[in-house]
Amino acid sequence: MTSEPAISAPSLELRFRDMSRTDLPEIMAIENISFPTPWTEAMILREFETPHSVHRLAEREACVAGYMISWLTPPEAMIMSLAVHPQLRRQGIGRALLSDSLKFFHSTGIETVWLEVRLQNLAAQSLYQRFGFREAYRRRSYYQDTGEDAIVMVKKVSPT
């Protein structure tokens, strides 16, 4: 018998807000499940001290459902990490986080958004492509843990 996540119903509304240090246990749990080489707690804490770092999360029923960390260096932004709890994937949370962030980027005058995605992460690539990201180039053997290529993707943000 599998246990259901506490926030499993897709119809429940998401709330977006900035991350805080008190969210760290939930963020680390998602991070550790989601990536072969997860960010450390120290790395995520450092984002709170980085002036150009924007760190947002999606909550459902007061639980962290997903999060996104980006760096803004106008006129560009770089999506550093986007993760959704594995039990809550395919419910539109990643799409909603990305949409929320792209609206924010647009409002701050960002013109170009960059990101890196693993060659084998087809679900993430598909999500980014639906938002208009296109492959710019590849970084061969970029990920040290697997030797996997990174696809560098880019999107131009439409001017107002």
128 in active site: yes
Q: What HEC string does 137-159 produce?
A: EEECCCCCCCCCCEEEEEEECCC
116 in active site: yes
Catalytic residue among 111, 116, 142, 148: 116
Q: Which of 63, 60, 67, 124 lies closest to 90, judged by CA?
A: 124
Which sequence positions are flagged as catalytic?
116, 128
